[in-house]
């Protein structure tokens, strides 16, 4: 009977070199990951899925290298199923981390600086106040009402990103069901058809969500401060890379085969199919992870250690307590360098 061809095929002898290459590439990211976790100025939990993904990719490519040299493991339903799960779900986890970064960008765009808050309190409503700067009397600072703190819009942005995170379940649930039952699809016609449909549903929703993330960044880019322009360009780039993965999957998942080790054109085991898999699926994943770990995301996006985790704004009392704790920790660090 025919069943959906595994994305990336099974690990044949020709997969040994690229598997070692990608295991090494991800291994080279581990010291950088450790630095991001341990270094106080770059530590954050916003990229938890990406960090877990990096470690897992070292494991899967090591297993793939072993499988390529061991013919007995190529027909393993368990190993094939595991690889389909991790290959099919890994990039979705990275996309969810982008939602966390999007939330920070949107929320920060509604938060005015202390100088803007002070200026807006003395400016007539809806007017522009011209105030000479202390350092350069010849320059005039323009402060508009649009730059003032906007808690209502901030609340809406938070609810919007909450909905985005929930919407990703529409990609995660069918993807997990389809890929975790891939072994059953090898011998059951009903599951073969179901896996085919669910894989397409999962990837289609993921692609749509990535477009929504990119569109949201574009829509809000006018209100995001200039110092975050680099973050905006990075978001566009990563959305583009993840979109390539989705488009590749949508282009090849229709293929069916009668054997995991078949070399027919539809088996995804041919040299051309393998090269396409590594170039359009594995390479964009690695580049995206390298960008997320290579840049100081905490500094670039101003995420803090936890990102924007609040459902609503903190009260003045909570803010005073937080600032007092931060001041105390800063004093302790200065006292004990």
Q: Which two tokens stand for residue 201?
A: 């549903």
CB 32, CB 294: distance < 8 Å: yes
What does the alpha-carbon distance between residue 63 and residue 59 come to, in Å, rounded to a whole number? 6
pLDDT number for residue 129: 45
CA-closest candidate to residue 93, choices 37, 53, 55: 53
pLDDT number for residue 126: 44
Q: Could you tell me the domains of the chain? A: 3-111+149-335 (1.20.1070)
Q: Each residue of 247-276: pLDDT tens digit? A: 999 999 999 999 999 999 999 999 999 999
Helix runs in 109-188, H state only: 114-122, 151-167, 169-180, 182-185
DSSP code for 124:
P
- 3-class state of residue 141 by DSSP: strand
Task: Using the Cα atoms of residue 155, residue 161, residue 166 and residue 167 in order, give the sign of their dihedral.
Answer: positive
- Phi then psi dihedrals of residue 4, to 5 deg: -60, 130
pLDDT number for residue 140: 34
Which of left, alpha, beta for 9 (phi over 0: left; psi -120 to 50: alpha)? left
pLDDT number for residue 113: 55
pLDDT number for residue 112: 66
Q: Which two tokens stand for residue 63?
A: 């297993």
pLDDT number for residue 148: 64
pLDDT truncated to tens, each residue of the chain (337 aa)?
Answer: 999 999 999 999 999 999 999 999 999 999 999 999 999 889 888 999 999 999 999 999 999 999 999 988 888 899 999 999 999 999 999 999 999 999 999 998 888 654 444 444 444 544 444 444 444 433 333 333 345 678 888 999 999 999 999 999 999 999 999 999 999 999 999 999 999 999 999 999 999 999 999 999 999 888 787 778 899 999 999 999 999 999 999 999 999 999 999 999 999 999 999 999 999 999 999 999 999 999 999 999 999 888 887 777 766 677 777 777 777 777 766 776 5
Q: Which two tokens stand for residue 126?
A: 């809806």
């Amino acid at each position: 009977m025919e069943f959906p061809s595994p994305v990336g095929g099974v690990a044949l002898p020709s997969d040994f070199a690229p598997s070692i290459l990608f295991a090494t590439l991800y291994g080279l990211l581990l010291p950088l990951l450790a630095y991001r976790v341990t270094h106080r100025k770059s530590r954050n939990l916003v990229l938890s899925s990406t960090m877990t993904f990096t470690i897992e990719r070292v494991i899967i490519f090591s297993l793939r290298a072993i499988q390529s040299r061991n013919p007995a493991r190529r027909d393993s339903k368990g190993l094939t199923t595991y690889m389909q799960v991790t290959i099919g779900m890994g990039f979705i986890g990275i996309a969810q981390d982008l939602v966390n970064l999007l939330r920070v960008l949107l929320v920060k765009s509604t938060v005015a600086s202390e100088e803007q808050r002070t200026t807006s309190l003395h400016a007539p409503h809806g007017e522009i106040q011209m105030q000479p700067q202390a350092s350069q009397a010849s320059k005039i600072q323009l402060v508009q009402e649009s730059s003032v703190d906007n808690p209502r819009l901030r609340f809406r942005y938070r609810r919007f990103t909450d909905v985005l995170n929930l919407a990703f379940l529409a990609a995660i649930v069918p993807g997990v069901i389809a890929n975790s039952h891939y072994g059953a699809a090898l011998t059951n016609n009903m599951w073969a058809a179901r896996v085919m449909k669910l894989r397409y549903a999962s990837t289609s929703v993921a692609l749509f969500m990535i477009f929504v993330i990119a569109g949201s960044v574009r829509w809000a880019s006018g209100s995001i401060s200039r110092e975050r322009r680099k973050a905006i360009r990075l978001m566009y780039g990563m959305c583009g890379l993840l979109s390539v993965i989705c488009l590749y999957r949508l282009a090849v998942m229709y293929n069916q085969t009668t054997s995991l080790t078949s070399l027919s054109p539809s088996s995804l085991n041919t040299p051309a199919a393998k090269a396409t898999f590594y170039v359009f699926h594995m390479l964009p994943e690695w580049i995206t992870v390298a960008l997320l770990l290579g840049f100081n995301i905490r500094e670039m996006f101003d995420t803090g250690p936890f990102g924007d985790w609040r459902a609503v704004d903190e009260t003045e009392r909570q803010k005073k307590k937080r600032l007092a704790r931060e001041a105390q920790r800063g004093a302790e660090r200065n006292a004990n360098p």
